[in-house]
């Protein structure tokens, strides 16, 4: 059996570092204890390794096809695996008791999700999307909508989607043109095209619940004219029974480089392919208030973006473990000191450059996992913190860190996948090994749920200055606290803490310069470098945190933590200085260069 | 018609910068002038764009399969395209008059090759490999071997391969086990398995000429026991007629992430699948001296490695031009200063972050092309320079730069492909656009012909210290000369030159520390960072060179050169300092870390 993620690492981060077991002391989680957390992780780990991982390559090799009947064809292994998942009750576990759930802390669920994504990101996307869909309905839908559309998803009987993008409106949602016209019975009829809809059609469940952004007649231009609608594939009776086919049609499947287990679709709403109630138009119900569609949708955005980051970590981690196994068993060449060709070749892990590639992967994927779980812990704190102040602080810090949680793993855990291929040499370039698939799968993550460039603008243009910099101040205070604790420990940890503190000071100084310097246009044009610098600093901080949590503990696991922390602080942190240096130049090349010169 | 490479850029680099037209003044190239060079480039450009590019996606979608008869099946478009190529005489043009060639300068041929690789790297690999194969035979084979095995390749009637790797010996060729047993008639019989053989089998030509490394009975262990053999798929009579099928069998096709136009094979020599002369054993002829196989094979290695770099540039360049076209036509969103949703969306090239991604690609791919053509020009200088000293100097500098020419484009033009996908957003992740294929194709380049790690060891462990550092001294002198010329021009060029000079000093100082510091093990363990730093410095130098060549010239092409030079010197060069800083720490983590801690 292949490990897809290190349980020891997950346990270390959840319990030794984040003290997640103490969440059970809170009233909201009173039915839980470490045992129930562990049982959830055990279940997720088992499904990831025994059910999802074995079909992962099949899902890639047999990408979804549209049959002659217009239905999606996928390997039958997928439906079977997802039934095992559905029976596990894992989706429900995150929801409140009121909705049939186990009220599990978000951070435990996030760890479980990372396992499941590491097993097969393509298979897990269906329930993951449905979890987000149902959570949104629970937060913003009416009681009837929750019963009709959320509960079947909570029970994993149906899957759901998020329909935001259109062929000409992806990053700029304000330009979407799908319309929703109110009907006498209080419903709406939707017409328009939606692009990039993951899980947009399939035969895996009896129904599909689409959450669709659309514009009502006379609504203002831009984002303020957008509302949210729930549009099922099959209409649903008040008793939950399935009725007529709604006017939602599969126009085409996107043929992707990776992530092929998940159908990705162009959907047509209201094209007349079906005629519910005897006439064209996709029947939908308004969710929340008119004109608040994007706000409602973005209410879930922090969690959705952490979810993307978690998926990127999962893929990177899986690749790292495979590269590690390969490097331990594959023999080739000899160390410098032993060049005699008569001696036996050594496992390639004995070559320092291979060890460098493994250590780099380790630093990226374990750093990425720490980032995801830290942010997930903030989600719980924002929801159940002891005081309003604690909840507000956590919420603000989560806002600030979300673009990092989305983009840093999408960039650096993809880089880890790149290195996993490299460790495998020519074999890594073939489909006989999984690492090339992981690399292709992970390439999606810097694109969806807000591209890298969008995250950079979000961080520098919105999150850093928001609340007069209070969230950045909170982050700086927490890093400062870590630095103080790290320095007190002496040795390498103190040295790493000193380097971290110096880089933090540089970042804060550069940030001041950017925000107060007056040339907002140039600052934002270079926002991607800010995101790089900020992300690496945050992960460096979390590596010092891990080093502190590992302090004084013996054994190879903890030696590994110290080694990776040392690597990150020594080899990676200095890059921050380069990126900040670029920002300090205030260079306007990318603003001023005439596009015809490109 | 899609441009796959910029002819204007090629002309600028060849003529305005490198003064390649002046090569025609040399006796060896006396039959040439700019007109014949241009005619070659015209031909290559036309085949790349009209013949190779249109089939490139087909070759990817229909990867080679082994039919029930054991023969390779590929799209018929490939054979047709390669016949057009064969008829062009382009392969022959590089060879000397004695061998039916046009005695074209290598640098012109390299530019033509980059065009062809940009058209379809998978299609062009067959003649490119054959060119290398025939060149080796011309340099080291007997007159009979040249006539029998090289000439048909020079005429593009047959294709050839290089059979080095085995399933358990890729990077460590000294461990290869294929044996060659001498026969009474002067031939050898070979037995063994060869892995990763590109073009190892196909039905594209009547015969395939394998150059095979093998060990003779009683030969010493390691690289000194390796000899080189020419082993045809079909035996060849003295009159050039095809005879019996040789005992070379296709065991399997490797299923690759990309580069699928080129078959990549596991071949079995001497398995008894065929019985030439009535008995098993692949019939081969010794090329060059016994025990000198690796030396002979590596004689072509500089050119082979420049060829890999050229292929990486070609893929990156093609992607850049596609991203540029897309960014100019795709509309979405609005600039900062124009957020009114009632206004029309703008072409995405108007967004600074998109322009940043394009400018980065431009700096990488045009920088990479400059690097390849500079090295190719050194090949000509080493062969036809006016004095022995000039030839020796060029040869030494070429040796030094070869690991950079191989690895820098393999890394950074792959990064350019990554950015080309990102510019396309979700569309870039689908197979409807070519950029995802280019990214998959290019991922091979850091692996084959010596991995990135091997190039790093070659650079720091061998090339830099060789000839007591004379080649590095020559490089430093040339950079110094550029700096002096750049400073004299004033303005931005002077500033860039100053930054370049400062970074060169740092590199030289760090190099001294590494080579004289005593801890060779730690230095070599971190050799990859040295390769990063060295490569970026070299390309920064070539950007200042281009800026100087563009000095005083007006128009968007030259503005673009200045913009990309400014970008590279401002945004990329500072990374060198980070990498050198890592090297100066002399950190031993990757040497000392216990593998069990990973």
Q: What is the pLDDT of residues B415-429, one digit of tens each?
A: 999 999 999 999 999
Say yes or no: ipTM exceeds 0.95: yes
Residue B1 has pLDDT above 70, yes or no: no
Q: Is B286 helix (H, G, I), strand (E, B) or coil?
A: strand
Alpha-carbon distance B453 to nearest alpha carbon in chain A (angstroms): 7
Residue A521 is among the residues annotated as catalytic for this protein = no
Of B309, B307, B410, B363, the C-alpha closest to B546 is B363
A-chain CB neighbours of B167 within 8 Å are none
Q: Which pLDDT does position B88 carry in this prediction?
A: 96
Do the chains contact at A356 and B525, CB–CB below 8 Å?
A: yes
Per the structure block, which two tokens stand in for A558? 């903890």
Those residues whose C-beta lies under 8 Å from the C-beta of residue B315, and which sit 6 or more positions away, are: B117, B118, B121, B413, B414, B417, B438, B441, B442, B445
Catalytic residue annotation of B = 449
Q: Which pLDDT does position A298 carry in this prediction?
A: 86
Alpha-carbon distance B100 to nearest alpha carbon in chain A (angstroms): 36
Q: Which pLDDT does position B302 carry in this prediction?
A: 84
Residues of chain A with pLDDT under 70: 1
A-chain CB neighbours of B425 within 8 Å are 170-171, 447, 451
Of A45, A366, A449, A545, which one is the catalytic site residue?
A449
For residues B345 and B332, the answer to whether their CB atoms sit within 8 Å is yes
- The pair phi, psi for residue B505, each rounded to 5°, is -60, -45
Could you report how far apart the first and last alpha carbons of chain A are, in Å? 51
Partner residue opposite A594 with nearest CB, options B428, B556, B590: B556
For residues B214 and B195, the answer to whether their CB atoms sit within 8 Å is no
Render pLDDT for B466-491 as a digit per residue (tens, 0 to 9): 999 999 999 999 999 999 999 999 99
Q: Which pLDDT does position A123 carry in this prediction?
A: 98
Please state, rounded to an integer, the average pLDDT across all residues of chain B.
96
Do the chains contact at B598 and A349, CB–CB below 8 Å?
A: yes
Alpha carbons B329 and B503: distance in angstroms, whole number: 39
Per the structure block, which two tokens stand in for A492? 């390498």
Length reported for chain B: 598
Partner residue opposite B170 with nearest CB, options A332, A452, A578: A332
Work out how many CB contacts closer than 8 A connect A with B.
262
Q: Which pLDDT does position A339 carry in this prediction?
A: 78
Partner residue opposite B196 with nearest CB, options A342, A426, A577: A426
A-chain CB neighbours of B338 within 8 Å are none
Q: Which pLDDT does position B518 carry in this prediction?
A: 80
Do the chains contact at A597 and B563, CB–CB below 8 Å?
A: yes
Angle at the Cα of A268 from the Cα atoms of A264 and A272, rounded to 5 degrees: 145
Q: Which pLDDT does position A518 carry in this prediction?
A: 79
A-chain CB neighbours of B356 within 8 Å are 525-526, 528, 590
Length reported for chain A: 598
Residue B79 has pLDDT above 90, yes or no: yes
Alpha carbons B424 and A171: distance in angstroms, whole number: 11
Could you report how far apart the first and last alpha carbons of chain B are, in Å? 51
Nearest chain A residue to B435, by CA = A257
Q: How many CA atoms lie within 13 A of B82 on its CB side?
A: 28
Residue B8 has pLDDT above 70, yes or no: yes
Do the chains contact at A570 and B577, CB–CB below 8 Å?
A: no
- Give A53's DSSP letter: G
Q: Is the dihedral of CA A558, A564, A566, A569 positive or negative?
A: negative
- Tell me the pairing of strands A226-232 and A159-163: unpaired
Those residues whose C-beta lies under 8 Å from the C-beta of residue B450, and which sit 6 or more positions away, are: B171, B301, B305, B403, B406, B458
pLDDT category at B58 given cuts 50, 70, 90 is very high
Alpha-carbon distance A563 to nearest alpha carbon in chain B (angstroms): 7
Alpha-carbon distance A367 to nearest alpha carbon in chain B (angstroms): 14
């Amino acid at each position: 059996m292949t490990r897809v993620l290190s349980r020891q690492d997950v346990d270390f981060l959840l319990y030794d570092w984040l003290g997640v077991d103490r969440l059970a002391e809170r009233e909201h989680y009173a039915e839980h204890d470490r045992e129930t957390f562990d049982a959830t992780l055990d279940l997720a780990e088992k499904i990831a390794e025994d059910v999802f991982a074995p079909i992962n390559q099949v899902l890639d090799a047999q990408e979804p096809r549209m049959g002659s009947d217009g239905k999606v064809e996928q390997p039958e292994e997928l439906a079977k695996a997802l039934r095992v998942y559905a029976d596990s009750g894992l989706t429900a576990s995150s929801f409140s008791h009121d909705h049939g759930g186990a009220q599990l802390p978000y951070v435990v669920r996030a760890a479980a999700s990372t396992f499941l994504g590491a097993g097969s990101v393509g298979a897990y996307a269906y329930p993951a999307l449905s979890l987000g869909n149902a959570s949104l309905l629970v937060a913003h839908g009416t009681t009837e909508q929750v019963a009709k559309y959320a509960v079947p998803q909570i029970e994993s009987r149906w899957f759901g989607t998020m329909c935001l993008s259109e062929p000409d409106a992806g990053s700029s949602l304000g330009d979407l043109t799908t319309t929703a016209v109110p009907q006498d019975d209080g419903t709406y009829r939707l017409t328009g095209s939606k692009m990039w809809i993951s899980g947009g059609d399939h035969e895996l469940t009896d129904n599909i619940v689409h959450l669709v952004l659309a514009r009502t007649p006379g609504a203002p231009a831009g984002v303020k004219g957008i509302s949210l609608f729930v549009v099922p594939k099959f209409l649903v009776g008040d008793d939950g029974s399935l009725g007529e086919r709604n006017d939602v049609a599969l126009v085409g499947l996107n043929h992707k480089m990776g992530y092929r287990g998940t159908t990705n679709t162009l959907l047509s709403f209201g094209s007349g392919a079906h005629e519910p109630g005897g006439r064209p138009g996709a029947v939908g119900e308004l969710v929340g208030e008119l004109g608040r569609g994007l706000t409602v949708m973005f209410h879930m955005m922090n969690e959705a973006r952490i979810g993307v980051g978690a998926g990127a970590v999962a893929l990177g981690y899986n690749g790292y473990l495979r590269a590690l196994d390969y490097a331990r068993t594959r023999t080739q060449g000899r160390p410098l000191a032993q060049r005699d060709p008569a001696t036996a070749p050594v496992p390639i892990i004995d070559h320092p450059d291979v060890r460098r590639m493994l250590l780099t992967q380790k630093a990226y994927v374990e750093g990425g996992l720490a980032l995801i779980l830290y942010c997930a812990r903030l989600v719980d704190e924002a929801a159940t913190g002891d005081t309003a102040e604690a909840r507000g602080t956590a919420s603000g810090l989560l806002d600030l860190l979300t673009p990092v949680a989305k983009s840093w793993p999408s960039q650096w855990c993809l880089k880890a996948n790149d290195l996993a291929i490299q460790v495998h040499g020519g074999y890594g370039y073939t489909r006989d090994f999984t690492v090339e698939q992981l690399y292709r799968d992970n390439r999606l993550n810097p694109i969806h749920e807000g591209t890298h460039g969008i995250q950079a603008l979000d961080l520098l243009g919105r999150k850093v200055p928001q609340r007069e910099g209070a969230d950045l101040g909170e982050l700086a205070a927490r890093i400062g606290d870590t630095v103080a604790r790290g320095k007190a420990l002496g040795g390498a940890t103190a040295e790493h803490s000193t380097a971290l503190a110096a880089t933090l000071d540089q970042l804060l100084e550069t940030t001041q310069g950017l925000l107060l310097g007056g040339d907002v246009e140039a600052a934002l044009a270079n926002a991607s470098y800010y995101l790089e610098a900020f992300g690496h600093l945050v992960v460096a901080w979390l590596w010092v945190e891990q080093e502190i949590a590992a302090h004084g503990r013996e054994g190879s696991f903890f030696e590994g933590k110290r080694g990776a922390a040392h690597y990150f602080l020594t080899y990676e942190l200095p890059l921050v200085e380069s990126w900040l240096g670029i920002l300090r130049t205030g260079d306007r090349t990318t603003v001023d260069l005439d596009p015809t010169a490109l």
